[in-house]
Amino acid sequence: MPELPEVETVRRGLAPVLEGGRIALARVNRADLRWPFPPDMAARLTGRRVLRLGRRSKYLMADLDSGETLIVHLGMSGRMLVSGDPLGQFHHDHPAPEKHDHVVLEMEGGARVTFNDPRRFGAMDLVATERAEDHWLLSRIGPEPFGNAFNESYLTQALKARRTPVKAALLDQRLVAGLGNIYVCETLHRAGISPRRKAANLSPRRIASLVPVIRAVLEEAIEAGGSSLRDHRQSNGELGYFQHRFRVYDREGQPCVTPDCPGTVARIVQSGRSTFHCPVCQR
């Protein structure tokens, strides 16, 4: 499932086409994805101008001039692809329609944004913009990793109250927004912290050290276009490349890349999910 870097990469790719643009025609080709689309979604989108395209955690949020916000979750295989962009940033020709093109936005000027989702775990909803943060998908999400509210003092207090392993704590979207399995594994390796360690047992100094590492990992991943392991594509259809920079994720049995570390990357299972780490340099 896409994590923060993948969703932010998609947002940045869509922004030049969507922000300030008007949706000339919206087509909704089925009644639902993970759950039903909101009533009359095509009519509520058609003719609307996109004032701002933002992101909250792993959700895209398009504020419309109608006073509504379109919330989009890509799910496991969802892609939002741009074609026919008059600015020349993407291919000019629209591709032939595909079976899993579930929502299509025809923009004034000729660009097209297509939401394609073969597994149909994605979702869309429309909500009043002034109440968007209270939407049930967003209301319990913690601070953004790049925001001022996510700082050393906040994380220290949040983790000292957790008796779970630090890996599980960082995956909790109520604690910090947008982190998923890949980037928590990579963060903990760079910080030299074992994923098995109880969060509450970490010293304040070690907890504080996680904040800049989390930000650095996410920034590098965004610059690389995210990680394409199975389904992720950027809005122009290209793959992300951060998977080529993984230090531990999906590298079981390979040498640890930490300088002078003799360890080998191991895989364990925590809460039903694979965790990759170095048992030697992560303590």
Q: What positions carry a catalytic annotation?
A: 2-3, 58, 273
Q: How far is CA 180 from CA 3, 97, 129, 168, 213, in A?
A: 6, 32, 27, 10, 15
| Residue 164 buriedness (CB in 10 A; 0-12 / 13-18 / 19+) | middle
Q: How far is CA 54 from CA 17, 38, 201, in A?
A: 13, 20, 36
Instruction: Count how many residues are written for the chain.
Output: 283
Give phi and psi for 168, each to the nearest 5: -65, -40
Report DSSP state, residue 252: T
Helix count (H) and strand count (E) of the chain?
6, 10
Contact 251, 277 (CB under 8 A): no
Residue with the two structure tokens 């800049």: 212
Torsion of CA 75, 73, 247, 185, to 10 degrees: -90
Buried/exposed code over 165-183 (b: 16+ C-beta within 10 A; e: otherwise): bbbbbbbeeebbbbbbbbb
Directed axis angle between helix 181-191 and helix 204-223, to 10°? 130
Sheet holding 123-128, edge to edge: 50-56, 59-64, 68-73, 123-128
Pairing mode, if any, of strands 79-83 and 101-107?
Answer: unpaired
